Structure 1
Amino acid sequence: MTVKSDPTRPLILWLQGGPGSDSTGFGNIEELGPKDINLQDRNNTWLQVADLVFVDNPVGAGFSYVDSNSAFTTNVKQIGQDLMAWAKAFFKKHPEYQTRDFYIFCESYGGKMSAEFGKQLQDAIDDGSIKAKLAGVALGDSWISSMDFVNTWPEYLYSVSYLDGKQLDTANSKAAECQKLVDNKKWYDATTCWGQMEDLIGQLTAGVSWYNILKSGGTDDWSKKFSLKSNKLRKFSVKQRTFDRHIGHLQSDALNDLMNGKIRQKFGSTIPANIRFGAQSSAVFNQQWGDFMTPNYDTVDNLLKRGVNVTVFNGQLDLICNTLGVELWLKRLQWEHRDEFLNSAKTSFSSPDQSQVWGFQKGFKNLKFFYILRAGHMVAHDVPWPALEVVKKITGKA
Structure 2
Amino acid sequence: MGLLVRPVALLIYCTTASLFFLTSSSAAAIAGGTPDGSEEWGYVQVRPKAHMFWWLYRSPQRVNNKGSTPWPTVLWLQGGPGASGVGYGNFMEIGPLDTNLKPRPSTWLSKADLLFVDELNGAMRWQWQDNPVGTGFSYVEGGDRTLLARTDAEAATDLTTLLSQLYRSNNTRLQGSPLYIVAESYGGKFAVTTALAALKAIHAGRLAASLAGVALGNSWISPEDSVLSWGPLLYQVSRLDENGLYLSDSLAQQIKAQVKAAQFLEAENTWQSLESIILEQANFIDFYNFLKDDSSSDANLEQQQRQRLLASLGQSRRRYSGYLSSKVTTEGGFEGIMNTVIRDKLRIIPKNVTWSEQSDDVFEALAGDFMKPRILEVDELLNLGLNVTIYSGQLDLICATKGTLDWIQKLKWDGLKNFTNSRRVPLYCSGGEAAGTQAFLKSYKNLKFYWILGAGHMVPIDNPCPALKMLGDIIQSPAQ
TM-score interval for Structure 1 and Structure 2 normalised by the shorter chain: over 0.9
d(CA) in 2 for partners of 1:327, 1:226: 34
SS in 2 for 1:97: helix
Amino acid at match of 2:341: K
Counterpart among 369, 372, 392 of residue 294 in structure 1? 372
Amino acid at match of 2:432: D
d(CA) in 2 for partners of 1:172, 1:235: 22
1:282 aligns with 2:344: no
Q: Structure 1 unaligned runs (5+)? A: none
Q: Which residue does 1:255 correspond to in 2?
A: 334
Amino acid at match of 2:162: W
Q: Which residue does 1:239 correspond to in 2?
A: 313
d(CA) in 2 for partners of 1:74, 1:173: 30
Q: How does 1:138-157 map to 2 (within 5 A)?
A: 138-157=215-234
Q: Which residue does 2:95 correspond to in 1?
A: 33
Contact 2:276 2:310 in 1 (8 A): no
Offset at 1:249? 4.7
Contact 1:196 1:238 in 2 (8 A): no
Q: Which residue does 2:349 correspond to in 1?
A: 271
Q: Which residue does 1:333 correspond to in 2?
A: 411
Per-residue Cα deviation, 1:190-215 (whole angstroms, up to 9, x for no partner): 10110110000000000110000111
Q: Structure 2 unaligned runs (5+)? A: 1-8, 10-58, 65-69, 122-133, 327-331
Amino acid at match of 1:3: P
Contact 1:239 1:286 in 2 (8 A): no
Offset at 1:353? 2.7
Q: In the superposition, relative to structure 1, how do residues 385 and 227 fare at CA in structure 2: closer, same or farther (>3 Å)?
A: farther
* 245-254 vs 105-114, greater mean Cα deviation: 245-254
Report percent identity of matched pairs.
38
Contact 2:83 2:357 in 1 (8 A): no
1:15 aligns with 2:15: no
Higher relative CO (CA 8 A, sep ≥ 6), structure 1 or 2? 1
SS in 1 for 2:360: helix
Offset at 1:224? 5.7
Q: Which residue does 1:3 correspond to in 2?
A: 60
Amino acid at match of 1:81: T
Q: In the superposition, relative to structure 1, how do residues 105 and 184 fare at CA in structure 2: closer, same or farther (>3 Å)?
A: same
Contact 2:363 2:370 in 1 (8 A): no
Counterpart among 58, 64, 67 of residue 138 in structure 2? 64
Q: How does 1:4-153 map to 2 (within 5 A)?
A: 5-7=62-64, 8-59=70-121, 60-67=134-141, 68-92=144-168, 94-153=171-230
Offset at 1:174? 1.4
* 241-250 vs 288-297, greater mean Cα deviation: 241-250
Per-residue Cα deviation, 1:244-289 (whole angstroms, up to 9, x for no partner): 3233454455211110000001111x21101100277432232112
CA RMSD of aligned residues (A): 2.2
SS in 2 for 1:14: strand
Q: In the superposition, relative to structure 1, how do residues 395 and 345 fare at CA in structure 2: closer, same or farther (>3 Å)?
A: same
Flag the structure with higher helix content. Answer: 1
Structure 2-normalised TM-score? 0.78
Offset at 1:73? 1.1
Contact 2:61 2:111 in 1 (8 A): no
d(CA) in 2 for partners of 1:331, 1:157: 22
Offset at 1:327? 0.6
Counterpart among 392, 396, 416 of residue 314 in structure 1? 392
SS in 2 for 1:152: helix
1:392 aligns with 2:472: yes
Amino acid at match of 2:272: G
Offset at 1:186? 1.0
Larger Rg: 2
Contact 1:107 1:141 in 2 (8 A): yes
